[in-house]
């Protein structure tokens, strides 16, 4: 893997030189090309100047900030270097918290942190401190000219930095029409039994991208000149008056599966 960031992980007066690596990648899905329906020619995306309609090469593109309508200032690499260098090269731990206190909406993307040579002892100290205390560290860092929140937690022998959104980044659900009526106690009791029956230890390896597998079957059939078969129809919305009956049917179905297994 190639490091996407190098700097120091700081807590208290301790600075741990680290390298950051992306902790995820998109392996699933089918790579579909955009084609011109008329002649099946691939479509490419171009950087077009709005003023003259001409395509612009990368080397002629600069970064600009529109400080008033139609007026821009250009920001160069030297301008970014004038910002506090320590902030762009340091992951600053502000506090330690219980992970259960963090709203799941804040989590964005994981990264691995690897200690630089000679920084292993301090790295291990932080990792073991987090494990023993059952806490995670909340930090701030700058990546690609933008400051982000982050949660740092131990995973195996390493430390994982989970990039987070700021509260201002999240959209409010206030405009959504969300129900707030009371639930029927009998229906809730059956729902809880169903939830309990479906509760299992989470094993990530048990899950895979079955949608892509089915899409590959469709593509394979079309390549062979066959007509793809429909797997299933859209499920019907459960009517409120049928809710209890469907809950009981679901519970009995899961109990039957358990007896067979």
Q: Answer whether residue 18 shows pLDDT above 90.
A: yes
Least confident of 39-48, 162-171, 229-238, 248-257: 229-238
Residue 45, pLDDT score:
86
Q: What percent of the chain has pLDDT over 90?
A: 39
Read off the pLDDT of each residue in 198-215 and give the average, rounded to a whole number.
Answer: 84
Q: What percent of the chain has pLDDT over 70?
A: 95
Per-range mean pLDDT, top range of 110-114, 141-145, 188-192: 110-114
Q: What is the pLDDT of residues 75-128, one digit of tens each?
A: 887 887 777 666 778 899 999 999 999 999 999 999 999 999 999 999 999 999
| Residues 6+ positions from 222 with CB-CB distance below 8 Å | 228
Residue 128, pLDDT score:
96
User: What gap in Å lies between CA 126 and CA 240, rounded to an integer?
Assistant: 52
Question: Would you place residue 152 in the very low, low, confident or very high pLDDT band (cuts 50, 70, 90)?
Answer: very high
For β-strands 5-11 and 90-97, DSSP reports them as: parallel
pTM: 0.74
Q: Answer whether residue 250 shows pLDDT above 80.
A: yes
Read off the pLDDT of each residue in 179-206 and give the average, rounded to a whole number.
Answer: 88
152 by Cβ neighbours in 10 Å (0-12 / 13-18 / 19+) ranks as buried
Question: Would you place residue 212 in the very low, low, confident or very high pLDDT band (cuts 50, 70, 90)?
Answer: confident
58 in Cβ contact with 70 (< 8 Å): no
| Residues 6+ positions from 140 with CB-CB distance below 8 Å | 91, 92, 94, 147, 148, 149, 150
Read off the pLDDT of each residue in 64-69 and give the average, rounded to a whole number.
Answer: 89
Q: Answer whether residue 177 shows pLDDT above 80.
A: yes
| Residues 6+ positions from 64 with CB-CB distance below 8 Å | 72, 73, 74, 75
Averaged pLDDT score across all residues of the chain: 87
| Residues 6+ positions from 161 with CB-CB distance below 8 Å | 20, 91, 110, 111, 112, 113, 139, 141, 150, 151, 152
54 phi and psi angles, rounded to 5 deg: -90, 150
């Amino acid at each position: 893997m190639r490091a996407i960031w190098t700097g120091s992980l700081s807590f208290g007066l301790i600075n741990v030189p680290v390298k950051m690596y992306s902790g995820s990648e998109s392996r699933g899905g089918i790579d579909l090309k955009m084609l011109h329906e008329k002649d099946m020619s691939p479509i490419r995306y171009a950087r077009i100047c709005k003023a003259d309609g001409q395509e612009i090469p990368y080397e002629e593109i600069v970064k600009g900030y529109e400080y008033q309508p139609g007026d821009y200032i250009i920001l160069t690499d030297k301008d970014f270097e004038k910002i506090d260098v320590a902030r762009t090269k340091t992951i600053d731990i502000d506090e330690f918290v219980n992970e259960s206190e963090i709203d799941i909406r804040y989590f964005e993307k994981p990264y691995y942190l690897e200690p630089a040579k000679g920084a292993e002892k301090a790295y291990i100290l932080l990792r073991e401190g987090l494990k023993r205390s059952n806490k995670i560290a909340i930090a701030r860092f700058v990546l690609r000219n933008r400051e982000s929140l982050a949660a740092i937690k131990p995973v195996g022998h390493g430390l994982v930095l989970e990039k987070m959104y700021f509260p201002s980044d999240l959209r409010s659900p206030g405009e959504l029409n969300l129900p707030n009526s009371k639930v029927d106690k009998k229906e809730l009791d059956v729902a809880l039994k169903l939830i309990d029956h479906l509760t299992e230890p989470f094993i990530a390896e048990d899950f895979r991208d079955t949608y892509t597998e089915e899409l590959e079957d469709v593509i394979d059939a079309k390549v062979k000149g066959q007509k793809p078969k429909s797997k299933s129809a859209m499920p019907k919305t459960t009517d409120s008056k049928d809710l209890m009956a469907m809950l009981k049917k679901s519970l009995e179905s899961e109990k039957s599966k358990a007896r067979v297994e």
